[in-house]
Structure 1
């Protein structure tokens, strides 16, 4: 019997864990794509939504991560965090994967080694010690309003993401392509380094097969970026996106989905009825000055966003 600080670890795992890791694709040591198969079968979800993954506080942590101090009794509890559903998009043959081929859920996860403040990141330092066959918790509830519902078949769709904010877009792009979406589909992804573009090969295959699909990657810390970093908001504001697309952005027939770093998104605040944009400017400000409108409370616009922290 495995025992830790008086707890029967096997009993705790049996009680809490309801899914197994069936595959890990290590993009690099701090960025993984994992596939989880729930014991009770895959969850029904709309592309763009999310669920939770969890591990016990009793599980070991990766060396070199922030030291964790647990309060008494925490060792027997479960830590859960929300993760958007990603998607493999294509199968081993490079063809658009069919729903019948997917009996797992895919997640795109970055290792958080430390965070500001006194609380150490609780989940990913444990998650990055797992291997195929290991058990974990996966939530049975699906949540989220960051979905394709407002998009019409002939409208253009632009996805903008930083880091693992690309995850929900993979599922959304797959959904649009498999339904034969007629409008232009564009995915822009910004990462620090080229090695962080974990799905680049997949999307390169898609651009060869679907004339209405474009995939654009940006980096900010490669040698060529010195003195001339281009973030997504700058890429749009400069007109470079429109130049690459060969057409202007038309707010009357375009939806923009923005996911990831809050600084990239730039959600405005409302003070005494006045809209105040954050500094530095984000994608929302850039697009609203071009006639787009972000979702706000119950008023739906054509800029949809999901913050990742």
Structure 2
């Protein structure tokens, strides 16, 4: 244990300051780094890491490929925080029960230490969207994370840009940041929130359809006035790969969008999981 404590001191550079379990396998984790980072672009990501000797959560499963005790296991996570936050960072994480890292992250408590990458990177951001252009963001699962950073960083500073979040899930408990998004929907004239559930119970009074069906039904135009036209509206997709593939195909084939790739021009931006 003394050797492990020495490794913690040498490797770890951040402390857990808040942990909110939304479900047993879904949490919001907020950490404070020992040293501040440079201001980043909303939508970018960094890495989180814990050593293989750290404990796993009580409801995890047998590790599919056991991590060596002394290895630092790292994975990339989108930052939820606004871009001006350079010391405290928020992450939205789902537990992969047999994984190497997330069960260890779910075992963390306030005050525990971990590793946070020193670099913040990624090209999934609003840098190429003119302030008067509209923005549609479609997400499932933890794919909502970069969009919360978009909104916290830019929605108030882009009053002439209408911004829409379409969020799909099976159950209402899976709609991460629902309260924050619903609040923004009622308080900001340029923001619109369209949640939809595929397997809702009788208490849900909202939409019950897939994201593709919501788009095809004209719900975005009806609720926000946004036109799904590549000349007017940029589209961002993040979440389940099947959803992303299906929705991207719809925008390309039905609306004439071109995916942004490298230096190629495009109005459709995709964050790969």
TM exceeding 0.5: yes
Give the TM-score of the pair, scaled to structure 1. Answer: 0.81
Q: Which has the larger Rg?
A: 1
Query: What is the match of residue 133 of structure 2?
Result: 155
Which SS does the other structure have where 1:74 is aligned? coil
How far off is 1:242 after superposition?
A: 2.2
CA distance in 1, matches of 2:171, 2:270: 23
CA distance in 1, matches of 2:197, 2:89: 28
Query: What is the match of residue 195 of structure 1?
Result: 173
| Kept after mapping to 1: 8 A contact 2:14/2:114 | yes
Q: 1:258 aligns with which of 237, 261, 270?
A: 237
Query: What is the match of residue 50 of structure 1?
Result: 45
Query: What is the match of residue 81 of structure 1?
Result: 75
CA distance in 1, matches of 2:232, 2:65: 51
Query: What is the match of residue 216 of structure 2?
Result: 237
CA distance in 1, matches of 2:6, 2:196: 47
CA distance in 2, matches of 1:69, 1:293: 38
Q: How many residues align?
A: 269
Which SS does the other structure have where 1:223 is aligned? coil
Q: 2:88 aligns with which of 96, 101, 104?
A: 104
2:16 is the alignment partner of 1:13: no
- Once the two structures are superposed, residues 232-268 of structure 1 have per-residue CA deviations (whole angstroms, 9 ceiling, x without a partner) of 12211232322223453222111001011111111xx
CA distance in 1, matches of 2:170, 2:35: 38
Structure 1 gap ranges (5+): 90-97, 115-120, 267-281
CA distance in 1, matches of 2:93, 2:154: 23
Query: What is the match of residue 194 of structure 2?
Result: 216
Which SS does the other structure have where 1:157 is aligned? strand
Give the TM-score of the pair, scaled to structure 2. Answer: 0.91
Residue range with higher mean Cα deviation, 49-58 or 28-37: 28-37
| Kept after mapping to 1: 8 A contact 2:19/2:109 | yes
- Once the two structures are superposed, residues 167-206 of structure 1 have per-residue CA deviations (whole angstroms, 9 ceiling, x without a partner) of 0011111222232331111011111210112211111221
